[in-house]
Structure 1
Amino acid sequence: MKLKHTFISLCAVASLVACNSISSDSKPLSAGSLSTERAETETTVVFIHGAHLRGSAWQPVATELKNAQIIPHIIDLPGRDNKVAPKIITLNHAANSLCKRTKDLPQPQVWVMHSQGGAVAHEALASCNRAHVSHLIYVSAVAPFEGAKPFALLNKEDEKNYFKGVTYEDGWMKITNQSEYVASFTNTKSKSMQAKIWSQSVDEPAVTGEGKVHLNKSKLDAIPKVYVFAKEDKIISYATQQKIAQSIGATQTYSIESGHLPMITQPLALADAIKSALRH
């Protein structure tokens, strides 16, 4: 399919569903899991954002983890402004940037990936990673491997919702209709929440979503994986998330009654899910 019809934004605004609790959907990880002591004293958590989002969207969640003696690091991937040529921000370029940013951080590391950030992280693991990544936590994230593109498992309804407010223009996926963008990705009427959304939203280089991920399944299988479902997500629907979690063999899952951006709309619930995953 053509680029402008296949690229799905994986960081659009969440539907705002009030819920301050999370549910664990599966048994805790066993041998590879972090102990409570390590989770609270040694763990370095790396936050990896998706498309159309700034890394700073993770800040409320990072603050909650820091208060629990968990060391957070927020990564800003290339292409967060229009000052670069979008054609150079390939998936491999983004992955190399992630590798450079993480190689000197304290280890072991737990990578927490949202949306398209899952594809960037997988390509980094395949091509350039030098860090010891002990666990992977996916937050409504894609997780391609073995030559798949980032959005291979997404459905037509996911795509339709995205393109209500975004248009392909000159190598960028541009937010071209503000009202449709908000209407498609959140049901909030709150002006303050809309302001938070816009402060973290950016146009996205389209080419990033067209790359192939070269991570071998055997290498992925060796890393314990947790999936956090956003059950009201319109961009990566709950059904799509379930397919993704099954494809990677996630052995622990959590659910939040949230749209696509729980780090903005429900940071406390998301932080609780991450902390719970680290402790099991």
Structure 2
Amino acid sequence: MSDSREPVLFLSGAGLPAWIWDEVRRDLGDGRETRVASRPESTKARLDDHVQAALASVPEGGFAIVAHSGGGVIGAQIARCVPERVTALLGVSAVIPPTGGSFISAMPVPNRWVLGAVMRFAGTRPPDSVIRRGLAHGLDDQVIDRIIADFTPESPGYYRDRVGRGAWDGRRGYVRTTGDRELSPALQRRCAQRLGADWHHDLDTGHLPMIEEPRAVAGSITRFLDARS
């Protein structure tokens, strides 16, 4: 049995604020130390800058990662950079690139071509209408308005930089969101396979289950961390 009291580092998806995890952290209880990864402030930040900002957010020693959406790319890179510290990684509708790949290369064709072109000409912030019907689908209007107001565009490096090829042998799990309009269940299955997840759970939610069903997400995290390797 692993140490189920290990600190948990939450990695928010691209552009999403730390508060999306507030209810999940509350439902996990005071007995488990949790942190939400900070972001680098530079608009030219690279993937490794995100890794260093995240590592600065967690205490010394071992920790588990819960990574959502694009945070899966950062989580995968952290595990490769400090494999001796990362005890487990749970993806929640997480983007996991192939070895040596990037967020963009994790997308299927032709989506990756479209995404690359859109970023070159329109930047990395999606239109409010896209956030409403995709990323935030299933949430009430007040919460959606707050997400739009607090959304922070990521740097191009977040999407284009490639993860390393280092090995890591920690525990791996994946929570799939079956009503997701942002990351299809089929793509999530491929990401879970790339992660090498041997623990799986499905939630009938959209792309932001930590807001839509925080208690269910907290339960998934607890079961994953308490499971035998």
TM-score computed with the length of structure 1 as normaliser: 0.71
Question: Given residue 279 of structure 1, which amino acid in structure 2 is its aligned partner?
Answer: D
Q: Please list the CA deviations of residues 163-198 of structure 1 after superposition, one character each: whole Å capped at 9, or x if unmatched.
A: 9xxx647884123x3234312334447322323433
1:113 to 63, 67, 81: 67
CA-CA distance at 1:247 after TM superposition: 2.0
CA-CA distance at 1:116 after TM superposition: 1.4
Determine the C-alpha separation between the residues in 1 that align with 2:60 and 2:75: 17
2:96 to 120, 123, 143: 143
Contact kept, 8 Å, 1:49 with 1:115, in 2: the verdict is yes
Q: Which residue of 2 aligns with 1:271?
A: 218
Q: Does 1:241 align with 2:204?
A: no
Secondary structure of 2:106's match?
coil
1:213 to 137, 160, 163: 163
Identical columns (%): 22
CA-CA distance at 1:55 after TM superposition: 1.9
Q: Which residue of 1 aligns with 2:24?
A: 61
> Any unmatched runs of 5+ in structure 1?
1-32
Q: Please list the CA deviations of residues 256-277 of structure 1 after superposition, one character each: whole Å capped at 9, or x if unmatched.
A: 1111111122211111111111
Q: Which residue of 2 aligns with 1:77?
A: 39
Q: Which has the higher contact order (CA 8 A, sep 6+)?
A: 1
Q: Please list the CA deviations of residues 11-50 of structure 1 after superposition, one character each: whole Å capped at 9, or x if unmatched.
A: xxxxxxxxxxxxxxxxxxxxxx53xxx42xx321111112
1:226 to 149, 161, 173: 173
Question: Given residue 277 of structure 1, which amino acid in structure 2 is its aligned partner?
Answer: F
CA-CA distance at 1:146 after TM superposition: 2.9
Q: Does 1:122 align with 2:76?
A: yes
Q: Please list the CA deviations of residues 44-102 of structure 1 after superposition, one character each: whole Å capped at 9, or x if unmatched.
A: 111111211112211111111124x21111112224xxxx3x22x11122112223333
Determine the C-alpha separation between the residues in 2 that align with 1:43 and 1:248: 21
Q: Does 1:100 align with 2:100?
A: no
Contact kept, 8 Å, 1:48 with 1:114, in 2: the verdict is yes
Structure-2 change in CA distance of 1:274 and 1:161 (3 Å): farther
Structure number, greater radius of gyration: 1
Secondary structure of 1:76's match?
coil
Secondary structure of 2:173's match?
strand
Determine the C-alpha separation between the residues in 2 that align with 1:66 and 1:160: 43
Q: Which residue of 1 aligns with 2:125?
A: 174
RMSD: 2.8
Structure-2 change in CA distance of 1:71 and 1:160 (3 Å): same
Tell me the matched-pair count. 226
Question: Given residue 62 of structure 2, which amino acid in structure 1 is its aligned partner?
Answer: P
Determine the C-alpha separation between the residues in 1 that align with 2:55 and 2:140: 38
Q: Which residue of 2 aligns with 1:132?
A: 85
> Any unmatched runs of 5+ in structure 2?
none
